[in-house]
Every structure is written in structure tokens, then in C-alpha cells.
Amino acid sequence: MKEGEALRSVTKQITQEAISEYAEASGDMNPIHVDQEFAARSQFGGTIAHGMMVAASVSEMMSAEFGTDWVESGRLKLRFRAPVYPGSDVTAYGQVKRVRAADGSSEIVCSVGVRNESGEDAVTGEATVKTEAAS
Amino acid sequence: MSVDFVTLETGQELSDKSYVLDAQTVERYIGAVGDGSGIYQPADDRPVVPAMAVAALGLRGIVADLGIPEGTVHAGQELEFSAAVRVGDALRCRAVLSQNAVRGETRLVSLRLMVEDGAGRQVMTGKTTLLMVLHTPSGAAHT
């Protein structure tokens, strides 16, 4: 991959059903994610997705792009900037910032994020992966 | 279990859990996040587990141990994956407090995460940053 090249984005809809399933799977049953009445009284005004659930779409994008290199050498640094509400369409996106050759492999540094349908960033950060094939 | 964050000191171990990553748990996670990357191949003898599943499922015991208070915001997450994890692997997940500071009306808590496989090989490390609102009349957590 070359500097400036965009990663293949991943778009999905975040549903309350998926949030509840994620809560069960992750063990994070915080009521802000699964209790409509509680969440309505919170500063968010309704239930929101888990930050790690939203971040999973970044990792999915990196896995789709780099395969097992991502699970064996990936580094991810993310900031959660805005809540994601059920019914939102979110898109994980990324762009190659730097490519460094080292020890017969390439280290690829990407700026990454997740934005909602309004274009607002819910998550921003950086992902780094080592690949065997120099690009 | 719930932790009193006021009394915690940096370097303190907050959680130490071991478990076996079974297919049912991984597939439930994949179903929830809708991972279509193709990294998980259920027909394989011991499928590779999506990286974020290792993180999320590793955090599972930590979430239970900490009893995250209302008003908590998950502000940041760092992860470093160093080896593939496969279905059936035994994992040990530990969390150590790396920062515990009060800034105005907020407590800033950082946890260092370490996940090892059954052979003691490090497969993931990370850092979770949480912001806990100290006074929150209608507070709620965003984790």
C-alpha cells in the first residue's frame, strides 16, 4: 500500500438488538446500553452503543485489509469522541499515513476512525500493522 | 464485586481472570458486531479469533471485577496484538491500575491490560482510559 491510499471502508447499522447482543457477549450490561428508561434520564438521552462495539468496525476493516497480519502485529490507539445511538449508520474509514520498511517487512501506519451518517466522528485514532510483503 | 477507586494506587492489580475461548462465545461476539472481515473461518480446525474479540472478551472479567460506576465514560483505548488467538485457547487476562488522578470533577483512571495464552505467551496488551464523573445527578456510563 502507498501513503495516502484509502482503506476499504466498512459500513453497518448499529441496532438496539445488536447492542443488547454485544452486552451479553461482552458482559458489559451497563444500563446506558440496554435500559431505555435509565438511558433516557442520562446525559445521552437514550441508549448508546458500547465504545468497544463501535471500535470493532475499525478492527474489522484492518482485518479485511491485512488479514492475519493484523491479529499478529496490529496496534490500535483510539479516542471515543461521540456516542453512537441505535439506528445509526456508521462507517469505519482509514487512510495510509506512512509506510516504513524495516527488517524485510513493512510497517504501515494508518489514520482511522468511525463516523456516523452525519459525518461526525465517533471514534478517531491510529492503527499500525506490520506486513511481510513490502508495498 | 465493586472497587472503591478512591483507595486504589497505581501498580495495583485489579483483575486476574483465566478462561478458555470457546467457539460459542466467539460466534456470539461476531454475531453482535457483524464482523464480515473473513478472519474467522468456522470450518477451520481451530479458527483464528478476531483481534477485537480477544480485547472485548478479555475485558469481560475486568468489567465484572471493577463494577464501573455510573457516569463513567470510555475515553480511549489502546491495543497491541502480538500473536493470533485461536478458538480453544486458554487465556489469562490481567488489569493493573496505571493512572488514578482527579482533575476537577472528573477521575481519570487508566488500566494496563495484559492477555497471555496458556503457554504464557503474550498475545495482547492494552490500555483503557476511563473518565469517571465525580458528581453526576443523572449520570450514566458509556463503556
Handedness of CA B107, B108, B112, B113 (dihedral sign): positive
How far is it, in rounded angstroms, from Cα B82 to Cα B10?
Answer: 25
What confidence category does residue B137 fall into, taking pLDDT thresholds of 50, 70 and 90? very low
ipTM of the prediction = 0.92
The domain spans of chain A are 50-131
DSSP A4-32: TPBPPPEEEEE-HHHHHHHHHHH----HH
pLDDT tens for B11-54 read: 999 999 999 999 999 999 999 999 999 999 999 999 999 999 99
Within 8 A of A50 by CB-CB distance, chain B residues are 74, 143
What confidence category does residue A81 fall into, taking pLDDT thresholds of 50, 70 and 90? very high
Radius of gyration of chain B (CA): 16
Residue among A21, A33, A72 whose CB faces B84 most closely: A72
pLDDT at residue A67 in the model: 94
pLDDT at residue B46 in the model: 94
pLDDT at residue B1 in the model: 58
Q: Does B55 sit within 8 Å of A25, measured CB to CB?
A: no
What confidence category does residue A96 fall into, taking pLDDT thresholds of 50, 70 and 90? very high
E-assigned strand segments in B21-71: none
Are the C-beta atoms of residues B99 and A106 closer than 8 Å to each other?
A: no
Q: How many alpha carbons fall within 13 Å on the CB side of residue B90?
A: 5
pLDDT at residue B9 in the model: 92
pTM value is 0.92
pLDDT at residue A29 tops 60: yes
How big is the A-B interface in CB pairs under 8 Å?
151
Q: What domains appear along chain B, each with residue ranges and CATH number?
A: 5-133 (3.10.129.10)
How far is it, in rounded angstroms, from Cα A51 to Cα A84?
Answer: 8
How far is it, in rounded angstroms, from Cα B69 to Cα B63?
Answer: 11
Q: Does A30 sit within 8 Å of B143, measured CB to CB?
A: yes
Position with higher pLDDT, A121 vs B138:
A121
pLDDT at residue B141 in the model: 43
- A50-131: which CATH topology? Thiol Ester Dehydrase; Chain A (3.10.129)
pLDDT tens for B74-123 read: 899 999 999 999 999 999 999 999 999 999 988 999 999 999 999 999 99
